[in-house]
Each structure stands twice: as structure tokens, then as C-alpha cells.
């Protein structure tokens, strides 16, 4: 019986609240609100939030695309 070893290549890249805020270019408080409203999927562990990097990057892409397609003010 072989045991599978997990390496960085196999593990999802995870971000904390500040890391997600850095990727999105917003404040950690704003990311916290997005997570609490379930607009940005994440996992709350105790008092901390954890986000998958790929989910945060997709959220940013959709947000940027929506801004690009919005009518001018």
C-alpha cells in the first residue's frame, strides 16, 4: 500500500484576509464584508478567514469585467 504525498503542487494556494485584500486591491475590512455577505466564498476558522487564491482571482476578473462593461457615469 502506497501513501500519497502532498506537495505544494497538489495543495490549493490559500490566502488569509490580508492576502485576499492584496490580490483584490482593496482593504481587509472590505474583503471581510464580502465574505460575511457570502459574495466572496471563503472558510471561517475561528476568527480567521481563509480563501482559495484561484477563487479570489476569479472574483477579481469578474469584478474587473463588470466595471469594464458598465455604462459611463
Question: Burial code of 5-26, b = ≥16 C-beta within 10 A, e = fewer?
Answer: eeeeeeeeeebbbebbbebbee
Give me the residue label for grid cell 471561517: 44
Tell me the per-residue pLDDT of 9-40, one tens digit each, with 9 for 90 and over.
666 799 999 999 999 999 999 999 999 999 99
Domains in the chain, ordered, with CATH? 14-69 (1.10.1660.10)
For the whole prediction, is pTM greater than 0.85? no
Out of 11-15, 44-48, 62-66, pick the least confident: 11-15
Asked whether the beta carbons of 50 and 16 are under 8 A apart, the reply is yes
Q: Which is more confidently placed, 28 or 70? A: 28
Q: Which is more confidently placed, 2 or 54? A: 54
Question: Burial code of 57-68, b = ≥16 C-beta within 10 A, e = fewer?
Answer: eebbeebeeeee
Amino acid at each position: 500500500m502506497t501513501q500519497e504525498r502532498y506537495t505544494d503542487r497538489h495543495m490549493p494556494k490559500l490566502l488569509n484576509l490580508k492576502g485576499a485584500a492584496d490580490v483584490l486591491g482593496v482593504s481587509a475590512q472590505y474583503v471581510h464584508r464580502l465574505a460575511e455577505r457570502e459574495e466572496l466564498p471563503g472558510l471561517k476558522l475561528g476568527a480567521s478567514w481563509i480563501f482559495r487564491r484561484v477563487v479570489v482571482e476569479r472574483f477579481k476578473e469578474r469584478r474587473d469585467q463588470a466595471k469594464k462593461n458598465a455604462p459611463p457615469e
